[in-house]
């Protein structure tokens, strides 16, 4: 007989949204405050005589961020720096430790909780489904190329010290372009072009196609978090096979299959919790699992 089950009362999505919004507010607030565009005037912009930047205890973006001198570095930024310089600089290692440990334990939660582009793509899904209904959606399947792109990028970084990972890291580009807007009143063609391309891919091809198939940073975080301890788990006795979780998963991972212990692509799962939140019987929940897999 099916065990009685209820939807989880605590939903993960609201606090996740708050954190995602907080990141965007900080990414806009830091250059806005430091560059103070309220003091700009057209003549000053033309002559390049913008007011001096103000000092603020927060600086940087998701690639590397400082709070009053305490710096946190994205794990992929750390890898890129070490491979290009061939040196493990101790302060850099210390700044990357917390994000690295969080990724090892929680998986690629950076994508679901902190990435501003992932957040905007999540919001974009409503527009995406409108496009799909209007027949403007091209049904093209792109296989997972993240590891191939990542491997090529790492070779370029190692042999040529070419910072390609940062160039193709959308959250970093997002922060960088905001900084350009507030320092130069302009955006860069490459950065804004790539971000626009990602949104167009999302609109006309498949939801989250960049995140699921192309993002080298996401691929690196997937590999780092492959043995994560914090995982979505299924209480098969509670599952009614309604399929809501499969519909909710932005990567099409079909978490309902966990009830039958079918193969599940843990590497792609970013622990967003959307499947858990929609499950009407509470069959899906997060657990610390020391065994992994």
**Part in contact with ligand SF4 (CB under 6 A); list of ranges 18-26, 46-54, 136-144, 246-254:** 246-254
Nearer to ligand SF4, 72 or 274 (CB): 274
Q: How far is the CB of 10 from ligand SF4 (least distance, A)?
A: 15
Q: What share of the chain is helix, strand, coil (3-state, %, to 5)?
A: 55, 10, 35
Q: How far is the CB of 184 from ligand SF4 (least distance, A)?
A: 37
The order of strands in the sheet holding 64-67 is 58-61, 64-67, 70-73
Find out whether 234 and 258 touch, Cβ atoms under 8 Å.
yes
SS3 234: strand
Find out whether 224 and 75 touch, Cβ atoms under 8 Å.
yes
Q: Which residues pair with 230 in a beta bridge?
A: 288
Q: How far is the CB of 253 from ligand SF4 (least distance, A)?
A: 4
Q: How far apart are CA 206 and CA 254, in angstroms?
A: 16
SS3 204: helix
Q: Using CB under 6 A, which of 72, 77, 121, 249 touches ligand SF4?
A: 249
Q: How far is the CB of 217 from ligand SF4 (least distance, A)?
A: 17
Considering only residues 265 through 284, tell me which ones interact with ligand SF4, judged by CB under 6 A.
269-275, 278-279, 281, 283-284
SS3 70: strand
Nearer to ligand SF4, 164 or 259 (CB): 259
244 is an interface residue for ligand SF4 by CB under 6 A: yes
Pattern 210-239, ligand SF4, x by CB under 6 A: ----------------------x------x
Within 10 A of 53 (CB to CB), how many other CB atoms are there? 13
Please count the residues of this chain forming the interface with ligand SF4, following the rule CB under 6 A: 26
Question: Residues, the chain, total?
Answer: 293
Q: How many helices (H) and strands (E) does the chain have?
A: 14, 5
Q: Using CB under 6 A, which of 144, 242, 288, 293 touches ligand SF4?
A: 242
Q: How far is the CB of 268 from ligand SF4 (least distance, A)?
A: 7
Residues at the interface with ligand SF4 (CB under 6 A): 232, 239-245, 248-249, 251, 253, 255-256, 269-275, 278-279, 281, 283-284
């Amino acid at each position: 007989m099916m065990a009685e089950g209820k939807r989880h009362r605590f939903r993960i999505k609201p606090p996740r949204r708050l954190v995602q919004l907080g990141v965007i507010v900080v990414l806009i607030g830091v250059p806005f405050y430091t560059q103070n565009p309220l003091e700009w005037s057209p003549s000053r912009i033309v002559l390049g005589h913008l007011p001096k930047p103000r000092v603020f205890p927060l600086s940087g973006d998701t690639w590397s961020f400082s709070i009053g001198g305490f710096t946190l570095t994205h794990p992929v930024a750390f890898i890129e720096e070490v491979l290009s310089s061939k040196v493990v600089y101790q302060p850099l290692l210390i700044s990357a430790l917390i994000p690295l440990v969080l990724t090892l334990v929680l998986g690629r939660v950076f994508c679901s909780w902190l990435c501003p582009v992932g957040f905007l793509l999540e919001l974009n899904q409503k527009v995406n489904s409108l496009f799909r209904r209007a027949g403007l959606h091209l049904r093209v399947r792109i296989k997972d190329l993240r590891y191939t792109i990542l491997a090529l990028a790492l070779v370029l970084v190692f042999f040529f010290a070419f910072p390609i990972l940062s160039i193709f890291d959308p959250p970093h580009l997002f922060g960088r372009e905001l900084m350009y807007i507030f320092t130069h009143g302009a955006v860069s063609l490459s950065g804004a072009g790539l971000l626009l391309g990602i949104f167009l891919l999302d609109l006309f091809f498949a939801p989250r196609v960049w995140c699921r198939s192309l993002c080298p940073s996401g691929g690196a975080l997937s590999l780092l978090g492959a043995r994560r301890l914090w995982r979505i788990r299924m209480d098969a006795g509670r599952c009614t096979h309604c399929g809501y979780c499969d519909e909710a998963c932005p990567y099409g991972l079909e978490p309902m299959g966990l009830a039958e212990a079918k193969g599940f692509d843990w590497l792609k799962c970013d622990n967003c919790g959307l499947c858990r939140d929609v499950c009407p019987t509470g069959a899906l929940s997060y657990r610390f699992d020391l065994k992994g897999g």
